[in-house]
Amino acid sequence: MTRIPKSEFARRRKALMDQMEPNSIAILPAAPVHLRNRDVEHVYRQDSDFQYLSGFPEPEAVVALIPGREHGEYVLFCRERDPERELWDGLRAGQDGAIKEYGADDAFPIGDIDDILPGLIEGRSRVYYAIGSNPEFDHQLMEWINTIRSKARLGAQPPSEFVALDHLLHDMRLYKSANEVKVMRAAAEISARAHIRAMQASRSGLFEYHLEAELDYEFRKGGAKMPAYGSIVAAGRNACILHYRENDAPLRDGDVVLIDAGCEIDCYASDITRTFPVSGRFSAEQKAIYQIVLDANLEAFKHIAPGKHWNEAHEATVRVITAGLVRLGLLEGEVDELIAAEAYKPFYMHRAGHWLGMDVHDVGDYKVGGEWRVLEPGMCMTVEPGIYIAVDNEQVAKKWRGIGIRIEDDVVVTRDGCEILTGGVPKEIAEIEALMAASREQVA
């Protein structure tokens, strides 16, 4: 399976430490284990920032980066080996593994952190830490700082400044390396196969969860541990609920199904939406709306390149969608005026995309100094225009009501434009109908 190589984690730690002020320490906790019910745990997912710097997959761990420390700059606290616990719950790296497998310079049992970490903080003037994202750990950190403060009369020097670590780290995470793009391409290819499989399986009489099962099968077969977010399989009017999650309604001839789903590989997300007819053939109204959304999706790519700003792609989709709605008589008036009045919003109420990476709605600022961010190579984002016509929208003729269409792709900015990572799954009307017709012939 495509994965981030170990050497890249070391490069990231060095890049972060190079940006830290002298005499500092950075501290990051692993994600906590979350209980699902009673003693059943949710599937463990490492915290993205922690993963970005360590690649260490276990809970109950803390990374400390201490530039210039004589006995090693990268200290990892983690669980000790424990044959009894490992028999029940699986293997642990332990301190030897932390050093040999994960490149730590020094490793200590997590149970000893109260005794050791205050000593590592003491004498450092700045602590780089993401305050507020893990309240329990915030509290622990304050206790360690107070331990140092209580010894001030003995000459201990508590830190005088806290610096937002997340801001530095999230700017680094916004620029994807060649290795990261490789992993994201792999995730996108598996997700593309999953969407194709769902299209091929679609039949009236099935339920939305049958298609979700097809997605899950292809995700797991590709090596993904889990979807990057809860899959949306929304048939008929459910497609107009943006974050529909029930996935339990019947598929009916005459309806379209909107599937928004992507797998996660090595903690990198993919995020694809396709909308297709349950029966394999779009109706005239569905086709008309679909084509506008597709035109908006295709237009957006022309506005994603180095030097263009973040919002240009969104603005392009707004223009195509507004003009299209006017053409069909769903909006009336001058396109420019309708755009200025945001008349498209009852039909297109979300933005054309978001940063994509270790988190599906990835980190990174969209504006810098009050201005939309200018795109640079390595930035990854989604392109996902949509039109949703509410069932109770009495402003439009009945035949349009309840149609919801979104088409979403993942792209990375390249030196001279952008690369579409999710091109493996069809989106032209004729291509989708041909693919679905072929799957029906095979069965017949």
Site residues (vs ligand GLY, CB under 6 A): 229, 260, 271, 354, 360, 384, 408
For residue 163, how many other CB atoms are within 10 A of its CB?
Answer: 16
Choice between 385 and 426, CB closer to ligand GLY: 385
- Tell me how far, at minimum, the Cβ of 354 lies from ligand GLY, in Å: 6
The residue among 4 and 360 lying less far from ligand GLY, judged by its C-beta, is: 360
Q: Is 39 one of the catalytic residues?
A: yes
CB atoms within 10 A of CB 236: 21
Q: Which does 266 bind (CB under 5 to 8 A by kind): ligand GLY, Mn ion, none?
A: none
Nearer CB in complex with ligand GLY: 212/271: 271
Is 114 in the active site? no
Catalytic residue among 218, 255, 260, 362: 260
Q: Which residues contact 155 (CB under 8 A, 6 or more apart)?
A: none
For Mn ion, the closer of residues 102 and 388 by Cβ is 388
Q: Which segment (84-92, 190-198, 248-256, 374-382) binds Mn ion by CB under 5 A?
A: 374-382
Radius of gyration in angstroms for the set of CA atoms belonging to the chain, rounded to a whole number: 25
Question: Which of 159-167, 257-265, 368-376, 386-394 is the region at the interface with Mn ion (rule: CB under 5 A)?
Answer: 257-265
In contact, 273 and 256? CB cutoff 8 Å: no
Residue 81 bears catalytic tag: no
Q: Would you say 12 or 197 has its CB closer to Mn ion?
A: 197
Q: Does 382 bind Mn ion (CB under 5 A)?
A: yes
418: which 2 tokens? 């952008």
Asked if 180 interacts with Mn ion (CB under 5 A), we say: no
74-78 and 106-109 strand pairing: parallel
> Given 73, 122, 189, 384, which residue is catalytic?
384
State the binding partner of 49 from Mn ion, ligand GLY, none, CB within 5 to 8 A by kind: none
Identify which of residues 20 and 256 has a Cβ nearer to Mn ion in the complex. Answer: 256
Of positions 73, 106, 260, 433, contacts Mn ion by CB under 5 A:
260
**What, of Mn ion, ligand GLY, none, does residue 229 touch, CB below 5 to 8 Å by kind?**
ligand GLY
Judged on CB neighbours under 10 Å (0-12, 13-18, 19+), 378 is middle
> How near is the Cβ of 328 to ligand GLY at its closest, in Å?
25
105 classed as catalytic: no
Write out the two tokens for 268. Answer: 């990198």
Catalytic residue list contains 138? no
Judged by CB under 5 A, does residue 271 bind Mn ion?
Answer: yes
- The burial class, CB within 10 Å (0-12 / 13-18 / 19+), for 128 is buried
Biggest distance spanned by C-alpha atoms of the chain: 85
> What is the secondary structure of 290-347 as a DSSP string?
HHHHHHHHHHHHTT-STTSBTHHHHHHHHHHHHHHHHHTTSS-S-HHHHHHTTTTTTT
The residue length of the chain stands at: 444
Q: Which is catalytic among the residues 18, 36, 38, 39?
A: 39
| CA nearest to 347, candidates 403, 298, 288, 286 | 403
369 burial type by CB count under 10 A (0-12 exposed, 13-18 middle, 19+ buried): exposed
Binding footprint of Mn ion on the chain (CB under 5 A): 260, 271, 382, 408
As annotated, the active-site residues are 39, 243, 260, 271, 350, 354, 361, 384, 388, 406, 408
